[in-house]
Chains A and B, each alone.
Chain A
């Protein structure tokens, strides 16, 4: 696959001179995420290909347009995984889009966030300059951590050209058990278990059943199953895929879908609507018609924040930031994109 760095850099330089705003995209699987913007499309899909994969070094470097599926397949062939288990939301999902959105999947609680597994990035800033930050080794503190700043920035700080990602060995075995339980007890149990070294790598509560995925050796799983109880489920791979890709029945909703991030031990939120819970209780999804003020207030009360993930009418997708923070956001945007041409408004109106 071709290296299109020069072409992309030239397009951005050109846009910079003409003050032409750009909408950076790739697989278009996560277009729903963030605010709608009206701008000339700059597609990175063709800038694809795995640059370097060293199974023994536990990292992979790939161009941003590389399909996530290709990367996951490649590392799976060597018994490795992307730690953060990112959702694809469609066949065409790319690595670049995954990093730009910064969304982690079910394994978040045990293996960290998207940014936690980013080792380095090459970006093109809003002036068309190619910049490299971080590296491919796990320990690296030279210079500010700009590569992680790109995670979740929705392309507003630069076009991500390539990324080095830390990998983990695939767990020897995984099994999932289901327990019928009420919500409060589920929250209590999850937080109790998290205080033990039990190898819980994912959890999902659907309102009546709590699903726990254990990832470890056969013997460790056996010991944990005994202390957790519940019933083993079949086809657990497709079950977690449904949670990750949001093809699970809960997500098939016409109502706005809210993603609420709270401390794991937070009690049931006072929001009307259907909800499910992931990440030991730290991630709550609500499908609800409640107005955004109610949802956000509840999230804040719990010490968290709410994102209007899908649907809804508000223009405010992400939780508003305090002024001190937002002022710094604007200054950082200036640093990377002085002409304000990269995905302007994708995250917040003024960014």
Chain B
């Protein structure tokens, strides 16, 4: 270990490689980085740095490596799992200034961008060529592609167009040793191990993303958005399965429960039937006649499942209105409550009704309301726990309730996180989902890239000690709650 370095001395070191005003030292300058979108966890970093070039990032990493200073990279700070939470002994590396779109290659249909480029900015830059970048997290106006890579973010259209993983062609990664690792290319595969896949979703723990090449897609020929209302949530869930088992893969298929419907109605008035127990929003795309046929088929399926109302948006405005409510769900729920806690488990769709009922029971048990808004097509649930942090003990209850929901997801054969990442939030549940040998493998992978654990340390993978203390791993010693369900 090198001699510990004082924070002022460290700041001086950084001032040699980046402009003075890019080294933030005072508490009021550091406050904006204290947390990401999971505000329950807060921590000031020692320093925050605002590099504006790759060269500056390299110089910063070199210093950090020399003095063994932890680094937490940050894009837009919209992570919902505390992924961008600073480390108390470390620096916060804000990559927002690296926001250049380096190339739109219309011939090969790719965009090459810096890590701080916002998700939506890529599609905007590609728009003049009739192309776009498919993954569209609800946070897409703010979140950066660097953050999307780290979290393998999804969006409402990933049912048909895939996650971040399926839409990334190449990455340039800076290793902690200061070397540039180039992965992938504008072609469709690479020799050797699929390090590109390994890097995506690795929560900033294996390297720092310096440059990203994404795949651009042509816009679909045409699309139709429809809404279906149900007076029973089970029927809504069955209708989702009905659509997919009939060979239709909608571009998006979302579900909102009653509490969410009411909240969005109050918030932005999208015209959802307020008497419904659940609504589905279904977007279909394709060629004219093909699309018409699909719309008819889906309508039929919805009616078969006793939808109380089926509406097909007549024009773009109406379609946008139908989406508006879904997209505004979180702020709308925010209006109902001082604080909310958004979960992110995924389950095989057939367990939807059972899981929703169990969530409702857990909600009653803990005395906190839970709203459900989620990507129904791929079984990715976002139960939203409403609580008030000012009431002593409520945050803890919310966390406990959230934890139990995630464990329920694992029990039915699902996973604790579909798209938000583990971060600091779901470390305990990782112990439930993975065995000791699996967690050890994760640590060994981390060590292969970052021996001294300087990149986003303490996130995503729990220590074995933590799991042992929780006693959660016992479920793996052949005592899994539902041994009949293959758990993977």
Contacts and interface: CB of A to CB of B under 8 A. Distances in A.
Interface in A73-109: 79, 102, 108-109
B308 interface: no
B390 interface: no
B416 interface: yes
Contacts of B234: none
A94 to B, nearest CB: 19
Contacts of B130: 195
B189 A144 contact: no
A152 interface: yes
A197 B293 contact: no
B353 interface: no
Contacts, number: 263
Interface stretch (A38-46, A49-57, A233-241, A243-251): A49-57
Contact of B193 (A56, A109, A137, A153): A153
A273 B398 CA distance: 67
Contact of A148 (B198, B415, B448): B198
A142 B416 contact: yes
Interface in A109-149: 109, 112-113, 115-116, 120-122, 125, 129-146, 148-149
B442 interface: yes
Contact of A140 (B175, B179, B418): B418
A326 B290 CA distance: 48
Interface stretch (A22-30, A162-170, A174-182, A286-294): A162-170
B348 A334 contact: no
A141 B188 contact: no
Nearest to B434: A143
Interface in A316-330: 318-319, 321-322, 324-326, 328-329
A265 B293 CA distance: 35
Nearest to B217: A197
B414 A325 contact: no
Contact of B191 (A52, A169, A305, A328): A305
A331 B437 CA distance: 18
B486 A116 contact: no
A282 interface: yes
Given A135-B488, A144-B201, A58 B166 contact: no
A283 interface: yes
Contacts of B486: 51-52, 61, 136
Interface centre among B244, B287, B288, B437, by most chain A C-beta atoms within 10 angstroms, is B287
Contacts of B131: 195
Contacts of B191: 305, 307, 318-319, 321
A277 interface: no
Contacts of B32: none
A329 B187 CA distance: 21
A15 to B, nearest CB: 18
Contact of B426 (A133, A142, A261): A142
B218 A131 contact: no
Interface in B287-320: 287-290, 293-294
B283 to A, nearest CB: 15
Contacts of A172: 247
A313 interface: no
A137 B288 contact: no
Given A56-B350, A148-B194, A219-B287, A137 B201 contact: no
A303 interface: yes
A220 B294 CA distance: 12
A19 interface: no
Contacts of B220: 197
Contact of A324 (B152, B175, B189): B175
B434 A303 contact: no
B108 A191 contact: yes
B248 interface: yes
A144 B442 contact: yes
Interface in A245-292: 261-265, 279, 282-283
A139 B380 contact: yes
B24 interface: no
A305 B184 CA distance: 10
Contacts of B219: 197
B245 interface: yes
Interface residues of A, number: 90
B394 to A, nearest CB: 27
Given A318-B191, A334-B448, A132 B438 contact: yes
B241 A56 contact: yes
B182 interface: yes
Interface size class of B (residues with CB under 8 A): 35 or more
A339 interface: no
Given A56-B245, A136-B488, A145-B201, A261 B188 contact: yes
B4 interface: no
Interface stretch (B56-64, B69-77, B157-165, B270-278): B157-165
Interface in B439-466: 441-442, 444-445, 447-449, 460-461
Given A141-B152, A219-B293, A113 B188 contact: yes
Contacts of B165: 116, 145, 148
B188 A283 contact: yes
B197 A263 contact: no
Given A56-B244, A321-B192, A325-B195, A195 B109 contact: yes
A232 interface: no
B158 A139 contact: yes
A325 B192 contact: yes
A157 B193 contact: yes
A194 B109 contact: yes
A289 B463 CA distance: 54
B448 A331 contact: yes
A335 B448 contact: yes
A259 B293 CA distance: 41
B298 to A, nearest CB: 13
A32 B197 CA distance: 26
Given A116-B162, A131-B437, A328-B448, A141 B421 contact: yes
B204 to A, nearest CB: 12
7 closest pairs, A vs B, by CB?
A219-B289, A139-B418, A169-B247, A217-B290, A220-B287, A263-B186, A331-B448
25 contacts: A52-B486, A56-B245, A116-B162, A131-B435, A138-B378, A140-B418, A143-B422, A143-B430, A143-B438, A144-B198, A146-B445, A148-B197, A153-B194, A169-B247, A195-B130, A197-B218, A197-B219, A197-B287, A217-B293, A219-B290, A224-B287, A263-B108, A305-B185, A324-B175, A329-B192
Given A130-B437, A325-B181, 9 more contacts: A58-B244, A138-B378, A144-B445, A151-B197, A216-B286, A283-B188, A305-B191, A318-B191, A332-B448
